[in-house]
Amino acid sequence: MKRLTVAGRLIITVLILGAIFLGYKYLGGEKTLNQMAEDRAQTPQTDATTNGEAETPVTENSSGNSEATDNQTTAFNYTPPAPVDGKLKGVVELGASGFNSFVIKVDAQKRWKLEKSEFGNSLVTENMATDEDVRIGLKKYISGMLDYGVGSKDIHFVVSSGAAKADVTQKISRVLKSLGYVVNQVTPEQEGQLALKSVLPAEYTDKAFVVDIGSGNTKISWVKGEKVSALESYGAKYFQEGTDDAKVYKEVSEKAKQIPAELRETCFIIGGVPFEMAKEVRKGKERYTTLSAPLAYSKLTNAKSKAGINIYKAVTDATGCKQFVFDWDANFTIGFLLGL
């Protein structure tokens, strides 16, 4: 190599490089490099991939919280005002699913506190209660309230609008009259208004509405100006009449859409099926429990619960309301006492 001229050396170098290039191309090296470049161009260049780490997707809800599920609820932080120098009053509800009694302490400003509640089963809508069944049941509730300290003149009886549709209601009224009591019957509209009176805090009058899902019917109510509006639709036992779920969903949705848009921020909800839903997520002995989304209650599979959830979903979808608050103490019959 030392005897070669510079020009000779250059010629030999070029020949060697050419041979290497032809061999590389023949063996597919160029194709491999091109494919690698193409694959690289199609790969997103994120911090995770450039650092050699796998990218993990994070699901966020509408509030920006990661890993949100239908079971997540937030506490409803509200404490109702307590009565001052209140008086005990009692009421017995003759409902579509049973006899229920409530004793409250209420003052002159209508501030109230639930002191005692008791729930029973009279098989009202099944028309299986005899005069003696009714008499025994009512005497039990009356005796319990008298022993608790409620005066006999402060004990009242109310027939729910759902139970009023049953023939057995006349039997109940007859037995009560024989015991010296008066039966107060309410219409669905009145029942919705009374539910609102007991459950809707004054601070939420201009931004919330009320739903009462009963066995015999559902009441949807709200306040607009000086007017209290209340609409009736199917109750949670509509399945007993063979009514189609889709038909109920449609009617409840149409009623719920009448709620003014500015009142859809919060819904205060009561009733038998909401009670079952609230039990699933209640924290301790809280007065108010925020319900989960309808799809979270798939474990409630009995016919009445499924029907009630269908009604709940119809209201949820129609209003877009994100906060449904169950009140463990409120009841439309308490609203009746507050209205006396």
CATH number for the domain harbouring residue 113: 3.30.420.40
Q: Indicate if the pLDDT at residue 271 is higher than 60.
A: yes
Q: Is residue 339 part of a domain?
A: no
Read off φ and ψ for residue 12, nearest 5 degrees.
-65, -40
Q: Is residue 48 part of a domain?
A: no
For 168, the domain range is 87-185
Mean pLDDT in the chain?
81
Note whether 204 and 166 are same-domain residues.
no
Say how far apart CA 44 and CA 193 lie, in whole Å. Answer: 59
**Residue 173: predicted pLDDT:** 77
**Residue 67: predicted pLDDT:** 35
Note whether 179 and 216 are same-domain residues.
no
Q: Indicate if the pLDDT at residue 164 is higher than 80.
A: no
Q: Is residue 56 part of a domain?
A: no
Note whether 213 and 262 are same-domain residues.
yes
User: How does pLDDT run across 220-236, given as a tens digit for each residue?
Assistant: 999 999 899 999 999 99
pTM over 0.75: no
Least confident of 128-137, 257-266, 294-303: 128-137
Contact 4, 12 (CB under 8 A): yes
Final residue belonging to a domain, choices 185, 204, 231: 185
Note whether 202 and 291 are same-domain residues.
yes
The contacts of residue 175 (CB under 8 Å, 6+ apart) are 131, 134, 135, 138
Final residue belonging to a domain, choices 185, 213, 237: 185
Report the CATH number that the domain containing residue 226 is assigned in CATH.
3.30.420.150
Which DSSP letter does residue 329 get?
S
Q: Band of the pLDDT at 127, cuts 50, 70, 90? A: low
Q: Is residue 296 part of a domain?
A: yes
Q: Is residue 65 part of a domain?
A: no
Note whether 312 and 246 are same-domain residues.
yes
Greater pLDDT, 116 or 62: 116
Sign of CA dihedral 64, 67, 69, 74: negative
Note whether 107 and 11 are same-domain residues.
no
Note whether 181 and 196 are same-domain residues.
no
Q: Is residue 69 part of a domain?
A: no
Domain count, the chain: 3
Note whether 177 and 214 are same-domain residues.
no
Note whether 173 and 252 are same-domain residues.
no
Q: Band of the pLDDT at 314, cuts 50, 70, 90? A: very high
Q: Is residue 335 part of a domain?
A: no
Note whether 137 and 153 are same-domain residues.
yes
The tokens for 146 are 């008298």
Least confident of 27-31, 103-107, 132-136: 27-31
- If one counts every other C-beta atom within 10 angstroms of the C-beta of residue 257, the result is 14
User: How does pLDDT run across 292-305, given as a tens digit for each residue?
Assistant: 999 999 999 999 99
Note whether 229 and 318 are same-domain residues.
yes
Sign of CA dihedral 217, 220, 223, 227: negative
Average pLDDT for residues 128-140, to the nearest whole number? 75
Q: Is residue 76 part of a domain?
A: no
Note whether 152 and 238 are same-domain residues.
no
What is the total residue count of the chain?
340
